[in-house]
A = this chain, B = another copy of it.
């Protein structure tokens, strides 16, 4: 105890949130305990419980942070697309299969980790994400594409996301590019 810690650059609350994510990512969902998260953040268990009244409260906060972030990022991605039919679907393609600013990266990995941990503790904790997904689906439905085409694009992105969550497979960059081309075809009205 009383080990000398490096000067804390972020406030304890943020450090705990980050540490908890790190823990899930490199030790697994089952290793996330409030004690371990506290240690990782350079805080005592009591200190953690000051900021988050319970493990559930911690998970709620983790989830809120990530789902807010995801929602904002996606909205930004949509706005970066040209207006007109298929705008939302195009954003989804860039989000899941592109290589630019909005490509999947470690933030998505962190989000996935949080979703899993929250779901494990209590499936109801995912409600904030469900709300975000519902909004996305509504946007897709009102996107001006042939019915079902936007939903198929979204599902394909989700599929890749799931593969990442469970490390089922890791598509090569070439494969992602090819999938992107395929999905772009679905932006055209059915003949």
Chain A interface (Cβ within 8 Å of chain B)?
28-30, 115-116, 119-123, 126, 129-130, 133-134, 137, 146-149, 151-152, 154-163, 165-169, 171, 175, 177-183, 185-186, 190
Contact = CB atoms under 8 A, between A and B. Distances in A.
B182 A134 contact: no
A54 B169 CA distance: 28
A51 B180 CA distance: 48
Contact of A30 (B120, B134, B137, B165): B120
Nearest to A150: B182
B175 A122 contact: no
B179 A190 contact: no
Contact of A115 (B30, B121, B166): B166
Contacts of A165: 162
A151 to B, nearest CB: 5
10 nearest CB pairs, A to B: A148-B178, A158-B159, A155-B159, A159-B159, A162-B162, A152-B182, A155-B156, A156-B156, A149-B182, A152-B179
Contacts of A159: 154-162
